[in-house]
């Protein structure tokens, strides 16, 4: 387990900006605690649930109010046909197990990428990559269906064509008030599109979450850089739960789950292998930073358009 306890001091124009997400003090213990879970999903859905449930129960024992699970927490299949066969509707057995888990543990759950058979399943025979947010009573309070599908060919990493089995979501989801702050929902490849994060921030997001399953080539090159960039440009906390290790003979993931504060400092990071890391969310620090660096007030849509249109 990694607790991101280091304090760093940065200065800009004489103003001290200290990342305080896990600073050791009596006041910090009153800040909301979030847990970021890192797993190695396989095609075995029940074993995956057992692993995730153990981490969620540990997060609850440690006092977290919200636990984040990565993209494909339910399973990672060997091919598109297996993906479609293992998928379920939101009202299926697996989501019911997670609603019971949230109630049992008394904490919120960010289920980072559920293979969802939507209402159009019979017509399309394709699914959605659905980020589901449960409250501590097990109720579904928000769903976001991944809007940017990962159809790429990276040398050394193998091709990925998510659209073979998945439909793109039609819209963004407004940020949701949680015990840790207002959470904006996204999934993995979405982090490459800053317009989405800007739209969520302008709609009131204080925490952006990118549950992911990054590859072994793009991970070392882009993972931390992108997450820190999204945090800095939106002045939000960024929470990124990740898949790690080898899922089966055809696929492996980079891991390195982390929490980044609004200054761009990594304040918590998972070690190698399955596990979790913890961070405290300090919204007073976020508001202070936005006050001293009011970048959203300085935007010039008259020059370059309104990138990331505010959500209605």
Active-site residue list = 71, 146, 188
The H helix count followed by the E strand count for the chain is: 8, 18
User: Which contacts qualify for 74-77: CB closer than 8 Å, 24 or more apart?
Assistant: 74/41, 74/45, 74/48, 74/49, 74/114, 74/115, 75/41, 75/42, 75/43, 75/44, 75/45, 75/48, 75/115, 76/41, 76/42, 76/43, 76/213, 76/243, 76/247, 76/248, 76/251, 77/43
Name the DSSP letter for residue 31: S
Do residues 149 and 162 touch, judged by C-beta distance below 8 A? yes
Beta bridge pairs of residue 116: 88, 128
Query: Which residue, 81, 10, 1, 7, is CA-closest to 35?
Result: 1
């Amino acid at each position: 387990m990694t607790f991101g306890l280091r304090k760093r001091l940065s200065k800009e124009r004489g103003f001290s900006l200290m990342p305080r997400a896990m600073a050791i003090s009596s006041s910090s213990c009153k800040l909301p605690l979030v847990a970021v879970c890192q797993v190695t999903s396989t095609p075995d859905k029940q074993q995956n649930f057992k692993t995730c449930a153990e981490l969620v129960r540990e997060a609850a024992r440690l006092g977290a109010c919200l636990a984040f699970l990565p993209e494909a927490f339910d399973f990672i299949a060997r091919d598109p046909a297996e993906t479609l066969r293992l998928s379920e509707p939101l009202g299926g057995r697996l989501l019911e197990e997670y609603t019971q888990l949230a109630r049992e543990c008394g904490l919120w759950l960010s289920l980072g990428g559920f293979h969802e058979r939507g209402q159009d399943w019979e017509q399309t025979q394709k699914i959605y990559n659905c980020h589901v947010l449960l409250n501590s009573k097990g109720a579904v309070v928000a769903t976001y269906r991944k809007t940017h599908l990962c159809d790429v060919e990276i040398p050394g990493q193998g091709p990925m064509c998510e659209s073979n089995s998945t439909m793109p979501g039609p819209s963004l989801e407004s940020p949701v008030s949680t015990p840790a702050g207002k959470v904006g929902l996204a999934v993995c490849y979405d982090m490459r599109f800053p317009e989405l994060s800007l739209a969520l921030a302008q709609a009131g997001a204080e925490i952006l979450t990118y549950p992911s399953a990054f590859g072994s080539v793009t991970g070392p090159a882009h993972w931390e850089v992108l997450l820190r960039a999204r945090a800095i440009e939106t002045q939000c906390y960024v929470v990124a739960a990740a898949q790690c290790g080898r899922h089966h003979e055809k696929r492996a993931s980079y891991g390195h789950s982390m929490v980044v504060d609004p200054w761009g400092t990594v304040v918590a990071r998972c070690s190698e292998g399955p596990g979790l890391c913890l961070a405290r969310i300090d919204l007073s620090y976020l508001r202070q930073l936005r006050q001293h660096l009011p970048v959203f007030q300085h935007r010039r849509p008259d020059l370059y358009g309104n990138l990331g249109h505010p959500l209605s």
